[in-house]
């Protein structure tokens, strides 16, 4: 069972209107609610692939319940640790006439020491059932960046490989615990050598035109034929990499699978499995150096 951890989930509330006039009454023509946060998106993609996956983390209030309900519609099991604060919402207001969208992000809830302790206990219990732990995204107020390091340590103690998709201090603390794979931010190229020297198993470097997978011994570059820029959704790419790490696929096969999956996401944010099957033949993976 793959466990994805999202410590700062959000409920995306999407409003669409023909024309938005701020300061005046506007009639909304379409409303959509969707659970957001990178770990939740990764869990959704993994479930689409048929993987046994549990989305865990921190959630509270009516918004937290709506997040769990939306994930249940996608067949994703949830085991969130309850918090007293209200999980955040992201409001997206689309003006169809002007073809632009305004995004309003609510602040994250404050996480207390008691809530963090309960979450740590819940997480350690989950590790007794896990085949992999995926740590994704930003941290809410009240959580120190060391949290990813602690979670990676608990996973390692249980013999569970960890995949970390983060940046900054959260990534550095997590990477120091020798995870199987890390996906850093835009400055990852400069960090790759240090991450590998610190014991990370592999680093995935995502750019606009390719994805490079680097280990201490070898590196590979993956591109999509006929696409000078790489039309890959990061959440689906992380899910594809995770799906390869769990059974221990060779890194070139994992990279091919992940790029095809990342490029098979439709406008609704869902994976088109037929497109994924076709795109695998269009991915080129070559050794570098």
My answer on whether 189 and 51 are in the same domain is no
My answer on whether 12 and 145 are in the same domain is yes
| pLDDT for residue 228 | 75
Sheet hosting strand 77-82, strand order edge to edge: 77-82, 53-59, 2-6, 132-136, 162-165, 181-183, 203-206, 211-214, 219-224, 283-288
My answer on whether 156 and 189 are in the same domain is no
| pLDDT for residue 38 | 93
Spatial contact of 218 and 250, defined as CB atoms under 8 Å apart = no
| pLDDT for residue 153 | 97
Q: Is 172 among the domain residues? A: no
My answer on whether 88 and 202 are in the same domain is no
| pLDDT for residue 181 | 97
Q: End of a domain among 130, 164, 198?
A: 164
My answer on whether 146 and 9 are in the same domain is yes
My answer on whether 255 and 160 are in the same domain is no
Spatial contact of 199 and 216, defined as CB atoms under 8 Å apart = no
My answer on whether 26 and 148 are in the same domain is yes
Cα 194 to Cα 151, 156, 183, 190, 199, distances in angstroms? 21, 20, 14, 8, 9
My answer on whether 136 and 28 are in the same domain is yes
My answer on whether 191 and 130 are in the same domain is no
| pLDDT for residue 185 | 82
Q: Is 158 among the domain residues? A: yes
My answer on whether 153 and 207 are in the same domain is no
Q: Is 170 among the domain residues? A: no
Q: Which two tokens stand for residue 102?
A: 């305004």
Q: Residues 175-198: what's their mean pLDDT?
A: 89
Q: Is the pLDDT of residue 260 over 90?
A: yes
At 135-184, the pLDDT tens digits run 998 888 888 989 999 999 999 999 999 999 998 899 999 999 999 999 99
- DSSP lists the bridge partners of residue 135 as 5, 164
Cα 258 to Cα 88, 204, 235, 283, distances in angstroms? 30, 11, 10, 10
| pLDDT for residue 147 | 95
The bridge status of strand 211-214 relative to strand 219-224 is: antiparallel
250 vs 231: which has the higher pLDDT: 250
**Domain ranges, residue 273:** 180-289
Q: End of a domain among 105, 132, 164?
A: 164
46 φ, ψ (degrees, to nearest 5): -60, -40
Q: Is the pLDDT of residue 186 over 80?
A: no
pLDDT category of residue 24 using cuts at 50, 70 and 90: confident
pLDDT category of residue 262 using cuts at 50, 70 and 90: very high
Does the pTM exceed 0.75? yes
Q: Is 232 among the domain residues? A: yes
Q: Is the pLDDT of residue 268 over 80?
A: no
- Distance, CA of 228 to chain centre: 25
Q: End of a domain among 164, 188, 219?
A: 164
- DSSP lists the bridge partners of residue 162 as 133
Alpha carbon distance 130, 154 (integer Å): 12
My answer on whether 153 and 192 are in the same domain is no
- The total number of structural domains in the chain stands at 2
- The CATH number for 106's domain is 3.40.1190.20
My answer on whether 157 and 15 are in the same domain is yes
Spatial contact of 210 and 183, defined as CB atoms under 8 Å apart = no
Q: Is 175 among the domain residues? A: no
DSSP letters spanning 79-103: EEEE-SSPPEEEEEEEETTTTEEEE
Spatial contact of 263 and 284, defined as CB atoms under 8 Å apart = no
Q: Is the pLDDT of residue 86 over 80?
A: yes
């Amino acid at each position: 069972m793959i466990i994805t951890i999202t410590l700062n989930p959000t409920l995306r509330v999407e409003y669409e209107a023909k024309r938005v006039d701020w300061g005046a009454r506007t009639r909304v023509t379409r409303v959509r609610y969707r659970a957001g946060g990178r770990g939740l998106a990764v869990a959704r993609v993994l479930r689409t692939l048929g993987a046994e996956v549990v989305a865990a983390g921190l959630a509270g209030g009516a918004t937290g319940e709506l997040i769990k309900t939306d994930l249940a519609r996608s067949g994703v099991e949830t085991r969130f640790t309850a918090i007293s604060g209200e999980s955040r919402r992201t409001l997206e207001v689309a003006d169809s006439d002007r073809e632009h969208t305004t995004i309003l992000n609510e602040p994250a809830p404050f996480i207390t020491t008691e809530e963090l302790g309960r979450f740590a206990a819940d997480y350690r219990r989950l590790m007794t059932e896990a085949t992999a732990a995926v740590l994704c995204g930003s941290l809410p107020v009240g959580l120190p960046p060391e949290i990813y390091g602690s979670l990676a340590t608990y996973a390692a103690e249980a013999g569970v490989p960890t995949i970390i998709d983060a940046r900054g201090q959260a990534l550095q603390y997590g990477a120091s615990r020798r995870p199987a794979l890390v996906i850093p931010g835009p400055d990852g190229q400069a960090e790759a050598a240090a991450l590998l020297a610190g014991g990370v198993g592999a680093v995935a470097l995502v750019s606009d035109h390719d994805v490079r997978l680097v280990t201490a011994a070898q590196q590979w570059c993956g591109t999509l034929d006929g696409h000078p820029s790489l039309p890959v959704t990061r959440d689906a790419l992380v899910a594809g990499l995770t799906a390869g790490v769990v059974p221990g696929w060779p890194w070139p096969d994992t990279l091919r699978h992940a790029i095809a999956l990342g490029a098979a996401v439709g406008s609704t944010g869902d994976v088109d499995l037929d497109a994924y099957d076709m795109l695998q033949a269009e991915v080129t993976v070559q050794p570098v150096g």
